[in-house]
Structure 1
Amino acid sequence: MKQIIIQGIRGKMGRALCERIEGRQDCRVLAGIDLSAGQEGAIPVVSSPSDLPAGGDVVIDFSAPEASMRLLEYCVAHSLPCVLCTTGFSEEQKAQICQASEKVAVFQSANMSLGINLLAELACRAAKKLGLDYDIEIIEKHHHNKVDAPSGTALLLADAINASVDVPYTYVYDRHAVRKARDVHEMGLHAVRGGSIVGEHEILFCGQDEVITLSHSAASRGVFANGAINAALFLCGKPAGLYTMRDLLED
């Protein structure tokens, strides 16, 4: 049975992880990391990775970029695999993640849902087939507490499309100050924040007289929790490297 550590254990995703792990026979939660130390039920919670008990097999991180960087330092020092589910990393932080992956196994995905990663594959196929005759716009919707925009998932989808075409698109996040016709090499990314929306993503392929829409809607955080747990178990025993959802799906 694998021993999992959860950073951000008192957040909504941390609690969703605990609920899903509780019903499994192949893993358990050893400890949690959060701003305030104490107990989360029977699970010990520490405020710093340096206070973690020994015996962890892998860490799942649903926190904030700064906390993720501190966690990575600990993981490298203790040869502990890490699943990064946090989004909103700066370019400098992304470089640090790559450096850490040279010394320890790191799994990173902006979205842990199988459906979202399938959506990315479908979007790539559509972009190749439809070409520049269809304008591409991505709309993402999340709860009002989400701080990064556009979402990491929207960028995941946009980056996947860009990697599949010959001439990459330029991302446009705001059109209110622009007074000109849309360029065929633009891709619009739009963020909606409101209420308790778990996560909705739409990719619009807008052509002459028709619009093709690919979409994904998450009904609960459980779908992301399941993906993160499966990624954590996949990562146990893996050599140093940067792994993605594609590696998990192909395993």
Structure 2
Amino acid sequence: MKRKLAVVGAAGRVGRRIIALAVESGKLTVVGAADAQGHPDLGKDAGLLAGVGALNVPLSDRCPPDPDVVIDFSLPQAAGNTLRHCMEQKIPLVMGTTGLDAEQQAVVAKAAKAIPLIYGTNMSVGMNVLFALVGKAAAMLGPDYDIEIVEQHHRFKKDAPSGSALTLAEKVCQATGRDYPDCLTHGRSGKDALRQPGTIGMHAVRAGDIVGIHSVICSTLGETITLSHTAHSRDTFVGGALRAAEWLIGKDPGLYSMADVLGLK
């Protein structure tokens, strides 16, 4: 029996692809599609919005009460409503919304005590392998290697640096004993902007329709090693999110990650 999926942020670029690939895979049945109050597409069929034909699932400003799992790729300001709904209804939740502040992240941790919850800044399988590698590489290379992180995204992305870039920095800090986020240097300017030992440079590019490129540059006098991931389309995030949703159903309450889904821990 196919499990029931609801999508929050369903009218967005990623949300529409979640619906489309869920239908194409045939593994999950889309039973709900939600987006912000006042959205101009409210009431329209979510399948038609996603380009896969009518599903008889109208876009709503509320999440349905009885899906087997919810995937949320909405905006940070909507995260609280999704978390409260899933806690009240005991629905497993895959949350890929980035840009959550400390207070919102605390709500995520609280929700994970009541429901199985995956929170990830990037659902791509390849990106999560990079998350697992960068700390190990930085620790092996040692303190003589300067570390710079460059992330590139499309002109419409609101938050900077990206959640994935921050996760990369956090992994490096955990493995090398740096203080996160105090060691981050966000760009450089001025006549006296020399690199300081132990810092991690963080640089955000916003241009055109770049889906997502993340590079971790480890460089010392004489050589440079660059670990990089390029997303060719949003489908790479969507495929990971659907894989996570299937994995999460039936799990005990707790805060999980894509590393759990992929067996990287």
Q: Provide Cα deviations, 1:207-233, integer angstroms capped at 9, x if missing partner.
A: 102211111100011110000001111
Task: Tell me, yes or no, if structure 1 residue 236 matches structure 2 residue 249.
Answer: yes
Aligned match for 1:226, one of 236, 239, 242: 239
Quote the Cα distance in structure 2 between the aligned partners of 1:178 and 1:75.
51
Counterpart of 1:250 in structure 2: which amino acid? Answer: G
User: TM-score, normalized by length of structure 2?
Assistant: 0.90
Quote the Cα distance in structure 2 between the aligned partners of 1:101 and 1:150.
26
Quote the Cα distance in structure 1 between the aligned partners of 2:191 and 2:199.
13
The within-5 A match list for 1:59-98 is 59-98=70-109
Q: Is the 8 A contact 1:138 1:204 kept in 2?
A: yes
Quote the Cα distance in structure 1 between the aligned partners of 2:234 and 2:254.
27
* 1:29 counterpart residue number: 30
* 2:7 counterpart residue number: 6
Q: Secondary structure at the match of 1:133?
A: coil
Counterpart of 2:117 in structure 1: which amino acid? Answer: V
User: TM-score, normalized by length of structure 1?
Assistant: 0.95
Quote the Cα distance in structure 1 between the aligned partners of 2:7 and 2:190.
43
Q: Secondary structure at the match of 2:129?
A: helix
* 1:185 counterpart residue number: 198
Instruction: Give the Å deviation of 1:63.
Output: 0.6
The answer for unaligned runs of 5 or more in structure 1 is none
Q: Is the 8 A contact 1:204 1:212 kept in 2?
A: yes
Task: Tell me, yes or no, if structure 1 residue 120 matches structure 2 residue 121.
Answer: no
Instruction: Give the Å deviation of 1:177.
Output: 4.5
Instruction: Give the Å deviation of 1:74.
Output: 0.5
Q: Provide Cα deviations, 1:35-65, integer angstroms capped at 9, x if missing partner.
A: 332122322221123xx2x431011001111
Task: Tell me, yes or no, if structure 1 residue 45 matches structure 2 residue 56.
Answer: no
The within-5 A match list for 1:172-211 is 172-177=185-190, 179-211=192-224
Q: Aligned pair in 2 of structure 1 residues 167, 197: CA closer, same or farther (>3 Å)?
A: closer
Q: Is the 8 A contact 1:203 1:215 kept in 2?
A: yes
Instruction: Give the Å deviation of 1:181.
Output: 2.8
Quote the Cα distance in structure 2 between the aligned partners of 1:108 and 1:140.
20
Q: Is the 8 A contact 1:168 1:185 kept in 2?
A: no
Q: Provide Cα deviations, 1:106-143, integer angstroms capped at 9, x if missing partner.
A: 10110001111111222112101111111000000000
* 1:154 counterpart residue number: 165
Q: Secondary structure at the match of 1:23?
A: helix
Task: Tell me, yes or no, if structure 1 residue 163 matches structure 2 residue 164.
Answer: no
Quote the Cα distance in structure 1 between the aligned partners of 2:205 and 2:135.
23
Percent identity (aligned): 38
Quote the Cα distance in structure 1 between the aligned partners of 2:197 and 2:146.
7
Q: Aligned pair in 2 of structure 1 residues 149, 178: CA closer, same or farther (>3 Å)?
A: farther
* 2:52 counterpart residue number: none
* 1:101 counterpart residue number: 112
Quote the Cα distance in structure 1 between the aligned partners of 2:128 and 2:223.
25
Q: Is the 8 A contact 2:66 2:89 kept in 1?
A: no
Quote the Cα distance in structure 1 between the aligned partners of 2:103 and 2:61.
25
* 2:20 counterpart residue number: 19
Length, aligned pairs only? 248
Q: Is the 8 A contact 1:120 1:161 kept in 2?
A: no
The answer for unaligned runs of 5 or more in structure 2 is 49-54
Quote the Cα distance in structure 1 between the aligned partners of 2:27 and 2:244.
13
